[in-house]
Chains A and B, each alone.
Chain A
């Protein structure tokens, strides 16, 4: 996960506007327009024909328009409002059994035909260095179809003034509740993607995402101490309806902390964040040792992301990411022997279909219909995440639909699907779960995270830590991080709450590849218990 792009952008200035990943800045009303499907089909056909005429045995065309809006505030002021657009066409071909790719912002039929021919030329040139020809799992053409994120309220249609008013109300509430500082942001995304291929598919998709992060800081000048509590919202594949709080989506956890499901009360969370940031200043420092951890879904998503989502990406397993993100401990021999990845309580599934998730789309970026499949079934490793040119390695007849490119100008490759922990089958609530824990820590919200290049050794922090003694939350504690070895950690899972507790977290910025690309992905779970996990104390003194 790489938030550096976002942080750089939030810094604003003329330089920030030049970051190519975010495209050109546009006026707000342009965020509402879409390009006519017939025009896109005409362009796509021009590219497909040009590629075939030059000898491509396969071609896909992605016509993309990527819209983003940022509203950045602190305390009583707006720091920045930016709308950006990036549009163009990416063309991928197979010629002489080798991939070739070219992209252009020239969206004329002549422009895309030229790019298609360039892609074929590159494929032919690279075929000299190709050890084995590309083996592509078949996909049946679906004709002309469309898919849209089922949003209730298009975020791009909400006036900027309403967004600014919301954030400033959030900030005022936090300051009134005792925060020293607050930074709050709205980050809205609309990907308008048209995919066409020589398989006979013409797929028009309209994908929406929303994220409303905030950082609340409490400073105690006298002691020189400061503490941060980040918002407990999650980025979602939703429209602006996510920010209209519904009582049914609010969850009060044992000990009193409040978390959210399919809608988010940002003002209420800002008040809680201010109070809890101040409480953190005075909280007792944790005694290091072994604890039973009770991990809320607002926290557990990131542990799933790092210790399950990444090691089960097949390109990492094979070695294609060795120079950057690394390889994986979950090698093919482990898969063949049904390696005990976790305890019997642990079933981890991948999908690109969960409603409101960041990964949800109708079809992936190589025209494969999305689906759900198990990665770890009752503890045993049973599958990976693959795309069309990897399916044959596992003996699969079709791709699972994990292909994604973060821009029209980036080549699509295997990216993480949503990867989630299946809820427990027996009825169990967090209130039931805590009753049996004698010496534990309850962790809510994601914090610092780090994992090695084969995804064995990881360390995670959090936002809120509560000591559990003899079945009850006693007090807030601080300076907590836990260290795991992935298989031991998942084998230490002794209970998972039922589906009524299932919630999602996620990331807008999962980084991979060279040159780097980002993708957005969700991870769902119910609260889960892990026994005897190593907790360290992270407090240090600078003298």
Chain B
């Protein structure tokens, strides 16, 4: 099906809205073309292209809601999907939390598309794979990586006249490089909107360097250490914490943002005052579509989530906002954390004793009460002394809460873009120097 133009999408959605006999009708049409190449053991293993377009229709009779989807767009198919949604709505029990379709919105477009990314060819993907495999082969290293690129469009409409259309594109690259004896492992990742800024040769050199330098790892005793977390190492921890920002869960007493005695901690200072995290769909480095499909197309706005350590924002669904007389917002699609100007290397230079963590892995929630998370370091963990990387160290398991971690900040570096593999959000996140980060055991894994 490919990528529909705004006019093509509008023609389809106008027909859908017109066909509905329900009290109200909302519809969305989304499509993407995703290409990928995967390689391992210095050889391409799989590559493919997936082209997928779907129409979702949701109708309501009173508080009874039905939804159906289809991937054919001729008139008969459009009629079929609308009638099917109506039939399911008539059979459905009343939803006491039903919210009517949103009013007509004015969505301000954001820069989510890149023509260069959309023009990526299978040859380009093969070149990226070759750019990683060839230097590794020459250096007795083994590359395993994945490049995924996509172009997409999304359109929404409802019977109250709402309309939105936007195109997006993105590239996500990860590569693990291991020494051929299996004793060293390095990794690199890049997440971009515009592929023009991507240079596989430059990126692979980072992973190769880390693989070679991590080969003679020494064991350190588990305990509390000053750490420098590269952006990919802290992104997963901070993303996990954001799930606790739901207003209803907080009010119900089942979030770390619930307050003793009832209510929530909105407005309280819970973090170091250097912690400022906001969301902005129009951010130039991490733009996202300016509406939230999960919340009926509610517009996304620039939102201060944590400002100088203070909780400034909780996520209200439309139903909960109505109950609590608050404003409902579209769920943020990106997270931007402010930092400083220093690179990771410069943070290392200013560290007397510490540990540099390339990335964290298999992060899971241990206790939702405190957002205690466990996981492991991976693919490049190094001991720092007097501003220099002294030697590689064996990987650690950590048990740490991002809430505690963000109270133990020594210094923040310059934010970089992270996404896909590391976080469900597009993030701008700085490298961080954190004191008293809790490692609880050693891992023999390389």
Contacts and interface: CB of A to CB of B under 8 A. Distances in A.
Contact of A454 (B366, B404, B445): B445
B144 A322 contact: yes
A425 interface: no
Given A81-B92, A323-B175, A538 B366 contact: yes
A77 B96 contact: yes
Contacts of A126: 44, 47
Contacts of A326: 361, 445
Given A126-B44, A457-B441, A26 B293 contact: no
A411 B36 CA distance: 13
Interface in A212-269: 217, 219-228
A483 B397 contact: yes
A375 to B, nearest CB: 20
Interface string A439-471: 000000000111111111101010000000000
Contacts of B69: 17-18, 23-25, 84
A38 interface: no
Given A323-B175, A542-B401, A514 B58 contact: no
Given A122-B47, A323-B144, A483 B441 contact: yes
B150 to A, nearest CB: 11
Contacts of A101: 46, 48
B253 interface: yes
Main SS at interface, chain B: strand
A485 interface: yes
Nearest to A181: B252
A129 B364 contact: no
Contacts of A448: 364-366, 374
A319 B142 contact: yes
A158 interface: no
B279 to A, nearest CB: 17
A327 B397 CA distance: 17
Interface string A308-350: 0000000000111111101101010000000000000000000
A177 interface: no
B260 A222 contact: yes
Nearest to A225: B369
Contacts of A371: none
Q: What is the interface residue range for chain B against chain A?
A: 35 or more
A536 interface: yes
B255 to A, nearest CB: 8
Interface in A109-162: 122, 125-126, 129-131, 160
Contacts of A57: none
B170 to A, nearest CB: 14
Interface residues of A, number: 83
B443 A452 contact: yes
B76 interface: no
B258 interface: yes
Contacts of B93: 78, 164
A226 B254 contact: yes
Contacts of A180: 252-254
A457 B56 CA distance: 44
B295 interface: yes
Contacts of B34: 515
A536 B370 CA distance: 16
Interface in B372-391: 372, 374-376, 378
A18 B56 contact: yes
Interface stretch (B83-91, B212-220, B299-307): B83-91
A20 B176 contact: no
A24 B68 contact: yes
A355 interface: no
A17 B67 contact: yes
A326 B369 CA distance: 30
Given A453-B361, A483-B441, A224 B144 contact: no
Contact of B397 (A221, A321, A450): A450
A81 B93 CA distance: 9
A365 interface: no
Interface string A349-373: 0000000000000000000000000
B138 to A, nearest CB: 16
B91 A160 contact: yes
A451 B144 contact: no
B437 to A, nearest CB: 13
Given A160-B91, A329-B445, A450-B375, A224 B260 contact: yes
Contacts of A225: 369
B290 interface: no
Given A131-B43, A226-B258, A515 B148 contact: yes
Interface stretch (A8-16, A42-50, A395-403, A497-505): A8-16
A101, A329, A331, A514: residue with the most chain B Cβ atoms closer than 10 Å = A514
Nearest to B379: A453
Contacts of B259: 224
A409 interface: yes
Interface string B226-260: 00000000000000000000000000111010111
A226 B369 contact: yes
Contacts of B71: 24, 105
Contacts of A4: 424
A481 B397 CA distance: 13
A479 interface: yes
Nearest to B367: A538
B358 interface: no
B367 A539 contact: yes
B70 interface: yes
B328 interface: no
Contacts of B205: none
B440 A323 contact: no
A541 interface: yes
A320 B45 contact: yes
Given A319-B40, A449-B364, A14 B26 contact: yes
A225 B87 CA distance: 44
21 contacts: A4-B424, A25-B88, A26-B84, A77-B95, A78-B95, A126-B47, A131-B42, A180-B253, A319-B41, A322-B178, A323-B174, A409-B50, A411-B46, A449-B364, A454-B446, A456-B444, A457-B445, A479-B367, A539-B367, A540-B401, A542-B404
Given A228-B254, A320-B144, 13 more contacts: A18-B28, A25-B68, A25-B69, A78-B95, A226-B369, A322-B178, A326-B445, A450-B363, A452-B378, A457-B445, A459-B441, A481-B374, A541-B370
Question: 4 tightest A-B contacts by CB?
Answer: A15-B293, A224-B260, A454-B445, A457-B443
